[in-house]
Structure formats: structure tokens, C-alpha cells
Structure 1
Amino acid sequence: MQQFSINVVQIISGIPVGRVMTYGQIAKVAGKARGARQVARLLHTLSEKYQLPWHRVINSKGEISLKGEGAVTQKQLLEKEGVIVNHANKISLKQYGYIPDQEFM
């Protein structure tokens, strides 16, 4: 696995309960500022294998990107952790956003 992928897995694994990060934030911290789409692909492919808390990753607008049942599941998992998700599936990044320590920066 490439270093970027390893970093992404470590960063996502480290998002605390009740907090969220965006795809773009994860990409930047992992070493590729423009790698948000790659983060999404890695999250999709590696979530089960590494038991990643995929539901803690949202888009840059603070919204759940998934549609249908996936969005419902993500919202339920976040709310179970105490995250408030509004009627438009939006989360306050100011309140729930997570910034990891300098380990990857």
C-alpha cells in the first residue's frame, strides 16, 4: 500500500467518536491537498477491511454525500454518537469538525 493510502487509513481511524472530517481535509493531512476523490475511493474500498468509521467523513460543505439508504445509515450512526445532523443532512464543521494533531502535517 502506498504511503498516502496508509496515512488516509490512519487518519480516518483516528477520528474520534462524535467528530467528523471532510474528504479534502483528510487528503491534505495525508499529503495530497487535491486528493479528496482518492480519499473517497479508498474509504469505499478499505472501510470494511480496516473497520474504518466511514460515517465520520463528510463533504466540504459539511453534508452527508451519500444518497438513499446510505445517507440514512450515516445520519443514524452520527446521531448515535451525539452529532446533530439537520434536516438537509448537514453537520456543523465548527462544532463537530476534527483537526488531527501534527503527526501527519
Structure 2
Amino acid sequence: MKDLTSEVSRLQIANNQIQQLIKAREQASIQIDFQEQSVGEAQKMELNDQFGSLNSFVDCIKDTNARTVDIPVLKMHWYRLEEKNLAERDVQIKYIFYLGPHGIS
């Protein structure tokens, strides 16, 4: 009987250690998800700022084209960027606007 009691005690200690390890890993996973989400949000804000700046630039070019003749046209390229929204666990399609490989031509 004493052997069984000591075995139960040993198993309870091992079980508690496993539960603590599981909790620690869950916390680490939650922290990593939060950090990835924060990075994603920062990148999204940066891309939105860049897109706004480029839209302003395009508007200036359009205004200039309306007043003068023979001004080069801005090449626009759209690329798809799949951005994983870590909070909602869905994939959204975003578009990045950028000048072509040769800039204005």
C-alpha cells in the first residue's frame, strides 16, 4: 500500500509539472501571436501611409498633365499581398501600389 501511495504522489507531482509546462507554452504562444499581430498592424499602417503619399503624387501628376502637354505617364503596378490577420485567423487580399521597375517612363 505504501508503494501505491508513493506512486500516486509521484504521478501527481509529474502531472502538476506537465500542467505548468502546458500553461507556460500557451502563454508563450499567446505572446508570439500578439507580437506578430502588432508587427502586421504596423506594416499595414506603413503601407497605407505609402499608398496615400503615392496617391498624392499621382494627383499632382494628373494636375500637371491637365496644364501641360507631353509629360511622361506614371506606370502603376498592382501586386497582391496576402496578409494573415492573426486576430481573426482569416486571409485578406491587400494591394500594394508602387512605381514600376523603371520609375516614371
Q: State TM-score, norm by structure 1.
A: 0.25
Q: Which has the higher contact order (CA 8 A, sep 6+)?
A: 1
More strand by share: 2
Report which of the two structures shows the higher radius of gyration computed on alpha carbons. 2
Q: Give the TM-score normalised by structure 2.
A: 0.25
